[in-house]
Amino acid sequence: MHAILCLGNPGPEYERTRHNVGYLVADLLGQRHGVSLTRRRLRSIFGRGDVAGLDTLIVKPQTFMNDSGDAARRLVQFFKIEQANFLVIYDDMALDLGVLRVRRGGSDAGHKGIRSVARLMGTTEIQRLRLGVGQPPAGVSPRDWVLSEFKATERAKVEDMVQRAADAAECWLTDGMDAAMNRFNG
């Protein structure tokens, strides 16, 4: 079994924020593959189904971003998911809006969600797909920036990024990490 953990914050007030771009990818993957994200368990909402020919969980943790590791650990333990079959998708302010980066692992670079996942999974070698949401403008705190909604002028770029991120997750499933990095880290 594979798992794609898409980070975000639960609740309607966060629905369209930069921090929840991972949830947008989860929803799109579910739509593309007919996987209903309705199961509530293990501090997550998820669906299980055939994604790109593989038995896959698409997961939206229902912890807040900074506690995402708790949901990740519970899922991995319950479903006995191997490290090689686990991908985390999340927003990243270090990348310009619309840029994708697929990585095998590494530091959390200050992202508290991936920090929580790494801490509770016991490793920084977590396969990940980072989604660029851009740097905050002068005078805006990083916290306020990631909890802000995308501007109307950014929405087309965000929609394109979410489409490509779903493509990258599918590529990771079918062709592996190297292929996903080569194809989407351009």
Residues acting as catalytic residues: 19
Amino acid at 45: I
* Closest residue by Cα to residue 135 from 160, 159, 110: 110
Using CA atoms, how far apart are residues 59 and 45, in angstroms rounded to an integer? 6
- C-alpha to C-alpha distances, 39 to 33, 35, 166, nearest whole angstrom: 16, 11, 21
Tell me the C-alpha distance between 65 and 119, whole Å.
14
Length of the chain (residues): 186
